[in-house]
Amino acid sequence: MGPLLFLIYINDLPDVVFNLVKLFADDTKLSARIRSLSDCQKLQTHLSALQSWSKIWLLQFNISKCKVLRLGCNPPAMTYSLEASDGSTVVLEESKCERDLGVMVHNELKFGQQVDAVVLKANRQLVLIKRSFTYLDEKTLVLLYTSLVRPLLEYANVTWPVSFKKDIDKLERVQRRATSLLPHITQLHYQDRLKILTYRVLSTEGFEAT
C-alpha cells in the first residue's frame, strides 16, 4: 500500500503548473521549451509553484539534488532558484549530464558516458561469471550472457542511440571478452569463436535462431 498511497498523495502535483511534468516514484522532472527570456521567467514561476505545493503538503524537495539540464544549441543561460528551508534563495546547479531512470543524459545528447557506464557494469558481470564457474560449455555461456550481461547492454537502448564507432567498439568488446571465457576456443579469432558458439548452441535443443 505504501507506493499506492504515495502516488495518491502527489497525484495533483502536475495540476499546479502548465509545463510538462514527469513523475516516477519520488523523482520529478519539469521541462519547458525555451525560446526567449519570457519562457525562462515562466519556468521559474512554475518552479516556485511546485515549491509552494510542496510546502502545503509538507513534502519538501531536496534542493541539493535539483539540477538544471539545458538541451539544444545555445539555450538562454538564465539561472533558476528554489527557496531553502531557512528561507534563503538557492540557485540551482547546472549539470552537463544527469542520470534519468538509469540512462545518462548529456546536454549535447551524446551518450558516451552511458556507453561507459553499461560497459563497466557488463564487464563486472563477466568477471563474476568467470569467478563463479569452474566449468563452462557453449550452452551455459550463452545462457549466462543472454540472461546476465546482454540485458545491461540493451537496457533502454532505444533512448540512447549509438552513432560513434568508438562507442560501438566498446560495446562489441564486451561480447568479444565473453567469448574468450571458454578456454578451448580462446585462442581462436573472434569471428571463429562467434561461429562456434552460434552453430553449437543452435544445434542444441531448446535454442533457436532469432
Q: What is the pLDDT of residues 42-54, one digit of tens each?
A: 889 999 999 899 8
Range of the domain at 72: 2-95
The answer as to whether 49 is a domain residue is yes
Q: Which three cell numbers stand for residue 145?
A: 550472457
| Beta pairing class for 81-83 and 89-91 | antiparallel
* Number of domains forming the structure of the chain: 2
- Per-residue pLDDT for 72 more than 80? no
Asked whether residue 42 is assigned to any structural domain, the reply reads: yes
Question: Is 139 within the bounds of a domain?
Answer: yes
The reply to whether 126 and 198 lie within a common domain is yes
Judgement on whether residues 60 and 17 belong to the same structural domain of the protein: yes
Residues 6 and 83 in one domain: yes
Are 31 and 77 contained in the same domain?
yes
Exposure pattern of 64-97 as b/e (b: 16+ CB <10 Å)?
eebebeeeeeeeeeeebbbbeeeeeeeebeeeeb
Same domain, residue pair 32 and 76: yes
Residues 88, 169 within the same domain: no
Same domain, 149 and 188: yes
Helices (H) and strands (E) in the chain, counts: 7, 8
121 and 37 co-located in one domain: no
Asked if residue 207 belongs to a domain, the reply is: no
Task: Report the percentage of the chain scoring pLDDT > 90.
Answer: 24
Q: Which of 79, 103, 106, 76 lies closest to 92, judged by CA?
A: 79
- Quick one: average pLDDT of 63-89? 83
pLDDT tens-place string over residues 141-174: 888 999 999 999 999 988 888 888 999 999 999 9
Place of cell 502516488: 7
3-state secondary structure 192-209: HHHHHHHHHHHCCCCCCC
The per-residue pLDDT for range 103-148, each reduced to its tens digit, is 999 888 889 999 999 999 999 999 999 999 888 888 888 889 999 9
Quick check: helix, strand or coil at residue 22? strand
Q: Output the nine-digit C-alpha cell for 93.
A: 546547479
Average pLDDT, rounded, for the chain: 86
Question: Which candidate, 142, 162, 160, places its Cα nearest to that of 209?
Answer: 142
pLDDT band at residue 63 under the 50/70/90 scheme: confident
Q: Are residues 85 and 136 in the same domain?
A: no
**Res. 25: pLDDT tops 50:** yes
pLDDT of 202 > 70? The answer is: no
Q: Is 76 found in the same domain as 53?
A: yes
Same domain as 162, residue 144:
yes
Residue 204: pLDDT above 70?
A: no
Which domain-ending residue is among 95, 121, 147?
A: 95
pLDDT score at 205:
44
Kindly state whether residues 137 and 168 are assigned to the same domain: yes
- Place 206 in a pLDDT band, splitting at 50, 70 and 90: very low
